[in-house]
């Protein structure tokens, strides 16, 4: 790690997930539609990206916090120089090529490897990762745009590194996207003019690229209310002529920058369309299918937020561990009655060990959940891609997992980050250590791209209900197969038993909730978050047990890595003993659910 880098990547655990547990060298790498990268090349790519993340992205992490972006008089946003240098490093080292398909000049890597590399970028400098959205939007236009739109935009977006944004939220609508009032008036062909104001737009403008492509939800004149009346438009900062040449400044401008608790290096913008000059855009694909089209971006963003939370927790854990090894304070409790006993590193204290193991188990569990989900996305692509009939089953599984990745990781990481600060003691409250910035930067993750409760409603009312619970039951059947099997032999018998009990609790929770739906949907509103968290914790426990079984097997043949594999076993044991028993209480709470809270008069709050 560079001397001025805050970032501590866990490359070894990334490699374990990808190549020892998920075995993407066999299941994904080199398979159509992915490029011809093999496992050796994939490992080398991760090692290079980790080095770039530490040496060229992370050093501007604190600088950009203290000298954040500035809104200039002309409505453009100026980034600090260090942040612009970090963005340039991503492109100079070809990190953006990993996710691009080969026909766009990229490596065509599978999602599992792409999300692993994203962890390195977003852990080192989360704001940098969000300024790279234009790279993904080129894939969206490639998939959903017309031939004319692809020819017009894609060469420049990829080769000239244009930025990109997703533009949904409005001041009076918030999370109620269907209440959006931004209007679109047809001009000719696929050209429209937009008028309205959007809010909370991540990186709506920045001066590190010559153009920015906004994907904007707006309501065409005459369209009906709600989300079904929305269409998606490609609206550039500078108009793009049919041959791809840049034209005049378009009528979309930043009118305010939000002052935020954290993640200050990411410019959160109020955007005004059509005030003073027309804001022209192209109707995506020449079809009025806005909300379904935008979900291609929303789902990517939700996955990215989950990975961001996990990455923050992972590096915070490694900082806390290093501090605990170096900080000498107090006597070992086992020698507390001996006045002459020496002072010891705080890693010897039971409470510090408890906090560190909780951090380790949760960070590794979240990584397992994120990369397992990414591996499902690999399978979707191998089977024909999103919406392909052959991929329907795994596509539904990915849909089910996304609210868990986003909702669970964002909520639980914030809770666990407080433990990382606690390990540092009073020092953690100072800016001498990065954990205080991690906490402020990470808190937004539970709020944007759909709050935690929106994720819970999505899980229960859309993903589970859509097929009558068939996808959920299929996933729980896999958990049962592990729990009732012999993975890890006698050494994991207690953990498998804990998994059985947790599975019974989660099944009881769903059964109780489904039984109460006939009375009122309020029960979902009251307990949706609890069900989401419990479901995710069951899956994390399942994955950690499977990790431990692989670690036990491999430790017999790889003596040099024995400490790492013993750590995998310790993570699984801690999670099964300290976390999974809590699912019984969660199940009882759902079973005992009443609607009394909804009857409390408003004046009584």
Q: Which listed residue (299, 436, 449, 537) is catalytic? A: 449
| CA 342 from centre of chain | 44
How confident is residue 338, by pLDDT bands cut at 50, 70 and 90?
A: confident
Q: What share of the chain is helix, strand, coil (3-state, %, to 5)?
A: 60, 10, 25
Distance CA 71, CA 83 (A): 16
Cross-strand pairs, 253: 272
Q: Angle at which helices 522-555 and 392-424 pack, to 10 degrees?
A: 80
Q: 0.95 cut: is pTM over it?
A: yes
Q: pLDDT by residue (tens digit) across 301-326?
A: 999 999 999 999 999 999 999 999 99
DSSP 342: P
Distance CA 271, CA 256 (A): 7
pLDDT attached to residue 176? 77
Nearest alpha carbon to residue 118 among 304, 380, 369, 362: 304
In the predicted model, what is the mean pLDDT of the chain? Answer: 95
Distance CA 476, CA 542 (A): 10
Q: pLDDT by residue (tens digit) across 569-580?
A: 999 999 999 999
CB 537 within 8 A of CB 579: yes
Nearest alpha carbon to residue 527 among 585, 440, 465: 585
- Catalytic residue list contains 449: yes
Distance CA 44, CA 48 (A): 6
Q: pLDDT by residue (tens digit) across 268-306?
A: 999 999 998 999 999 999 999 999 999 999 999 999 999
pLDDT attached to residue 2? 58
Distance CA 458, CA 463 (A): 6
pLDDT attached to residue 1? 53
Q: pLDDT by residue (tens digit) across 160-176?
A: 999 999 999 999 877 77
pLDDT tops 80 at residue 3? no
Domains and CATH numbers, the chain: 11-130 (1.10.540.10), 143-288 (2.40.110.10), 290-450 (1.20.140.10), 466-600 (1.20.140)
């Amino acid at each position: 790690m560079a001397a001025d880098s805050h970032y501590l990547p866990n490359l070894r655990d990334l490699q374990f997930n990808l190549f020892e547990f998920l075995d993407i060298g066999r299941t994904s790498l080199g398979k159509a539609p992915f490029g011809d990268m093999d496992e050796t090349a994939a490992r080398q790519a991760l090692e290079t990206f980790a080095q770039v993340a530490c040496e060229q992205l992370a050093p501007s992490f604190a600088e950009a916090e203290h000298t954040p972006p500035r809104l200039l008089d002309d409505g453009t946003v100026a980034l600090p120089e260090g942040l612009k240098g970090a963005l340039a490093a991503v492109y100079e080292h070809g990190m953006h090529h990993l996710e691009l398909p080969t026909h766009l000049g990229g490596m065509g890597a599978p999602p599992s490897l792409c999300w692993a590399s994203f962890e390195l970028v977003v852990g080192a400098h989360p704001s940098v990762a969000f300024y790279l959205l234009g790279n993904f939007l080129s894939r969206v236009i490639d998939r959903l745009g017309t031939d004319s739109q692809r020819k017009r935009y894609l060469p420049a977006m990829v080769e000239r590194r244009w930025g990109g944004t997703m533009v949904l939220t409005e001041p009076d609508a918030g999370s109620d996207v269907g209440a959006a009032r931004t209007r679109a008036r047809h001009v000719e062909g696929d050209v429209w003019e937009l008028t309205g104001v959007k809010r909370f737009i991540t990186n709506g403008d920045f001066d590190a690229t010559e153009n920015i492509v906004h994907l904007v939800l707006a309501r065409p004149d005459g369209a009906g209310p709600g989300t079904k009346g929305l269409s998606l438009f490609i609206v550039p900062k500078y108009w793009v002529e049919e041959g791809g040449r840049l034209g005049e400044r378009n009528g979309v401008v930043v009118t305010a920058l939000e002052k935020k608790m954290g993640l200050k290096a990411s410019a959160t913008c109020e955007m005004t369309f059509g005030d003073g000059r027309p804001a022209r855009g192209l109707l995506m694909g020449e079809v009025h299918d806005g909300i379904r089209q935008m979900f291609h971006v929303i789902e990517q963003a939700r996955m990215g937020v989950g990975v961001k939370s996990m990455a923050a927790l992972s590096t915070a854990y490694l900082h806390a561990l290093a501090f605990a090894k170096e900080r000498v304070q107090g006597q070992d409790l086992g020698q507390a009655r001996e006045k002459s006993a020496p002072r010891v590193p705080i890693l010897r204290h039971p409470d510090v060990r408890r906090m560190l193991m909780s951090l380790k188990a949760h960070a590794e569990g979240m990584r397992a959940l994120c990369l397992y989900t990414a591996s499902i996305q690999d399978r979707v692509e191998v089977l024909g891609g999103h919406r392909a009939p052959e991929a329907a089953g795994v596509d539904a599984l990915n849909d089910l997992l996304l609210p868990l990745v986003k909702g669970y990781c964002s909520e639980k990481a914030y809770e666990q980050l407080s433990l990382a600060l606690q390990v540092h003691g009073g020092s953690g409250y100072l800016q001498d250590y990065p954990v205080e910035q991690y906490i402020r930067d990470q808190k937004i993750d539970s709020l944007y791209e759909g709050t935690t409760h929106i994720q819970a409603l999505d899980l229960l009312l859309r993903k589970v209900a859509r097929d009558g619970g068939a996808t959920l039951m299929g996933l729980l059947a896999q958990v049962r197969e592990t729990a009732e099997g012999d993975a890890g032999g006698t050494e994991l018998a207690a953990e498998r038993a804990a998994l059985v009990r947790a599975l019974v609790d989660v099944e009881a929770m769903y059964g109780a909730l489904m039984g109460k739906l006939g009375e009122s949907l309020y029960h979902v509103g009251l307990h949706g978050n609890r069900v989401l968290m419990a479901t995710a914790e069951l899956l994390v426990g399942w994955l950690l047990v499977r990790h431990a079984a692989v670690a036990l097997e491999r430790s017999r043949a790889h003596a040099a890595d024995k400490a790492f594999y013993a750590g995998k076993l310790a993570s699984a044991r801690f999670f099964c003993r300290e976390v999974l028993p809590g699912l019984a209480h969660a199940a009882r709470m759902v079973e005992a659910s009443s609607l009394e809270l909804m009857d409390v008069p408003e004046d009584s709050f």
